[in-house]
Structure 1
C-alpha cells in the first residue's frame, strides 16, 4: 500500500509538472507610443544639430527656411507644394510615387504574416553591397572583372566590366545612365590626339595619406608617373622621402599637391615639389565639410607627415579661414604661384546650383584649372550620413560651369576638369561632351590596384 501510495503521489506530481508551463520568454517588450515619440524627437534633434554644426549655422532661426539644400528627383508639384523656392533642376517622384515608397517600407516593418525574423529589417545595402539590396556600380562581379582585366592585361574582361557598368537601362544609378548617344560623323583619326598625349589629361582623385595606406598611395603615384599622368597627394601632406626618385627609376612623388583648409603637411618644400597645386575649396563627396581622419588612424608616421599629434583626430574646417571672398582666393593663388612659379594652380569646386558664377570668379582670380567634383567620389573615410546625403552629380555642375564660362568669354582662360565615380570610357565621353578637358579617377584606380570595396574605411 505504501508503494502504491508513493506511486500515486509521484504520478500526481508528474502530471502537475506536465500541466504547469514555465513562464514564456516574450523577449524585449515593444516600446510604447510615448517612448517612440521621445526617441523620434531625440533622433531628429540630434540630426539637425549635426547638420547645422557641419554647415556652420549656430541658431535654429538661421536654419529654418534658409533653403540651403538642392532637390534632385522630386516633381514640380511636390516642390511647389512643400519646398517652394528651393532649387530643383531634375524632376522625378510625384506624391503618389512617394506614397508607394512609404507603404512599401511600412509593409517591410509590419508584414501581414509574422515571420521568425520579423523583428529585424533587411539591410537595404545602401552603403555596402547586399545580394538583395540596392544596386551598386561597383559590385562583386564588376570589381572581379576589372581586377582580372588589369592583372592579366585582358581587354575582353575590361569590355565585360564596362558593359556591366554602362548598362543602366533597367536600373539607372547615375544621371549619365539616362543619356544616350546620337549617331554622327566620326572624327578622322588623324585629328585625334595620340594616346601618349591623351593620358596626360588623366589624374587620380585627391586621396590623402591616412585615409588610404602608404602602399596604396605610393602605388598610384608610381603608376601615374610611369604613364605621364598625375597623381594627387590629397590634403594629408606627403613624406619627403618620396620626392626623390628610387634607384630603379620609379617615382613615388605625387605631381599634384593639395592645399586644403586644414593646411596639413603644407610646407615650402612640399609646394616646391609639385607640378600642380590644387586649392580644395570643397569636397564633392561631402560639400560644406572638411576632411576627417579619426584619431585612431593617426599613427606616428601620419602625424609626422601632417605636422600634428599622434592619436588626435584631424578634422579640416569647412571653410578656409583666410578666404572669405574671391579677392582672398586671388591672393592665395598669387602666393602659391610665387611659392612655385612652374606649378599650375588648380581650384577644386563642387557641383551645385550657381557653381558657374563661382567658377567665373575663380577664372578671373588667375587660376589655371578648375575642377568640378561630383558626389559619387570619396574613399569612404567620410561619415555615413555624409556619403549618402551630401553632394550632387558632376553632370549638373560641369554643364553649368562650361556654359557660364563660355557666355562670359572666360572658357579659354582655364582648363576644366571633373571627377566623381568615372569608371568607363562612356563616362569619359559624356564628361568631355559636357565640357571637361581632363578627368580624375579615384575609386576605379583603387579597385584596379586591389581594393575590394568593403566600404569600411570610415571605421
Structure 2
C-alpha cells in the first residue's frame, strides 16, 4: 500500500487504498471523514471560514471525465493513455490565456497533445471573504500521450507541468505566481484549495466522479426553478402533466415550508406561499404540448423528453399525441403510487390502475404505427420482479420505483410527509430530523439487484431469453381461474389482454429514434457568428430577419452559454441580436444572462418563457401607424416561469402576462386578462389597460398599474393582494426609473407622454402587493434592524 516512489504525490495525511487494487467509493468516503475529523488540525483565518488548505487526491474517475469531455466534444483515449490535470489560473485574462498556451506548448514539447479544457463547476458561496479574494479560475486539462510505459508517461507529464509553471512565472513575474498546476497525471487527480475541511466537499461536490446532478429533471406546471442552467444539465426532461396520486390537481406549498434554501432553489421569497396551477398555462392542446417539447429540445440539444400522464380512460389517445409531438418517452402513472402529501380523498378515490392505462396506451400506439418510436414507462406501487414482468408483458419498456425505494432508505410510511416532520429525516427540512437519515445508495442498489434477479427467474419460466422479447407479449398474461368471489364473476379482461397484430415484433417496443426537428434551427447559424463572444466574452452585435416559422429563437444559444458559464452567464451586453419581422412561438425562451434580443415587429405566444437573465425588447416597427398602447404585439402567456432578466414591450400583451414570474422586471403598455397570475417575484409595470382577474394567485413581487379611469380595483382579484397609491418616495423613484429605461430601450411614445406629465400622473398609478409578501419583507427588515441594533446596545452596556 506504500511505495516511496509516490512520496511526491501529496503531502500531509494519506488515505488507505483498497488492498485488492479495485476502485471503491467507500474508501473515498472514509478519506472524507478523516479530513472532517481532523478539522482541528488545520489553521483558520480571523473570519473563521478561511482555512490554510485542504485537499484530496484519488484515482482518476474515468467514467465521469469521459462523460464530461464528451459534452465538450472531446473523445478521450482508453484509460492509461490520457491524463487529466487541475489548473489554477488567475482571473487576469491575459495571463489566463497565456498560461493555457504555454502549458499546451510544454505538453507538445514532450511529445504529447492537449485534447481540450473543461471549466470546473464550483460553489463559490461557501468560501470565506479572504479566500474569495484569492479564488482562481479552475480548469481541467485533458492530455493525450503517445504509447509508452506508464512510468515514462507520468515522467513527461511531470516535466511538462513544471516547465509550464516556470515559464509563466518567468514571463509575468509576481502576477504569474497565481498560475499553478496542482496535478497532472494519468493515474490520480488532486482537488485542493484554501479551504476549511468542510468547505472542500461543498466547493467541489463529489470530486470522485459521483454526480449529485439529477439526470431526469421535471418541468411541472409551476415552473419553479426551471432555468436554462437547470435544463442544460439534464439528460432527460420530463413534462409532468399530472400526478398519479392527485390527477387534475395543482399544489400549494405553505409559507412555513418555504425556507431560505427552498426559496433560493425556487427563486422566491422565504415565508411566502407558493402555488402550482392545475394546468400548464402553455399547454391547452396537443399542438401546445408539441411546442413545449420543441422548446425543451432547443434549450438542450440532444436531450430526451418524456411526458408524464395519469392512467385513465382515453390516455391512449393522449399518448399518441405525445408520440406525434416528438417526445421520446411517455410515462403512465397509476393511482396506487404518489406522495404522502397528496389529499387523502385523492389518494383513495382518484385515478386508475396502471395496468388499464398501460394496456390502452400500448394498443393505441401500435394501431397508429407509433409504438416503435417512443419508450413507454410505467409506475405506481411497483415493488417486485413480478410487477416488472407484468408491466413488460403489457407493453412497458421502463419502470419507476418510488415508495419501495423510499422504504429501502428508511421510510416507514407514516403518511405525514405534508407536515415536514418526518421521523426518519426523509421528507423534512428540519436539520435536526435530517441528521437521523440513515439511508445509503447501496441499499437501493441491493434492492434493485434482487428485483432484477426475480425478473430473470420469471423470464426463464416464461421462456424469454432477452427482456426485449417479453415487451408487449400480453398473450402470456391470464387471469387466475380459482377466484370465486362474486365481484370477480362476469369481469371481461379481453380488451386489456388484446394483442394487436404486427408484421415485425420490434414494432411492439421502441426500436428507432424520433426525427430531429432542430437541424434547421436558426440558432445553429447564429452560434457560428457569435462563437468569439461565448468563448472570449467579446461583444458581438448582429442584425437579421425573422419569420413566424422560427420558434424558440435564443434557446440553443443560451444552452451554450449556460454549459460554459452556468447561471451567471455572460456580462451584460456581450451578445446583442436585432431581428426584424414576425417571431414565432417562444421567442427568447430560457434566454441566458448577457444576451439581448431586440425584436422590431411582433411576436407569437410564450415570449420570454423561462427567461433566465437575458433582456428582450419588442418595438413597434417605425413605419407602423397604429397606436402602440392600444394594440397587441406579443401573444399570450408571456414570461411564464421566468426567473431573472428584463422585458420591455412597446405595445400590449395578450392574456396571462407574467404568469408565474419569479424575478423578471417587465414594462408593458397594456395586458389582457389574468395578468400577473401566480406571480411570486419580480416587478411588472403596466402603462395602459388591463383585463380582468389581475393578480389572481399572486403571492410575491410587485406590480405598478396606470389606472387612468380609476377602475382598476374592479379588474383586480383582491383575494391575496392589497392595493395602494404610489406615495412613498422609494416607489416613485423606482417606478420613474423603470419607465425611463423603457423609453431608452424602446423609444416608446407612451413612456415619453407619461414622463412629461409625471407629477399629475404618478398619483394615478396603483401599487399591487401581495399580503403575505408584504409581511415577509417586513419580517426580513425587522431581522436586519435587530442585527444592526445589537452591537450599539452591547457597547452601551459595557462602555456607557
TM bucket by the smaller chain?
A: 0.3 to 0.5
Q: With the length of structure 1 as denominator, give the TM-score of the two structures.
A: 0.46
Q: With the length of structure 2 as denominator, give the TM-score of the two structures.
A: 0.27
- Greater relative contact order, per chain length (Cα 8 Å cut-off, separation 6+): 1
Structure number with larger C-alpha Rg: 2
Larger strand fraction of residues: 2
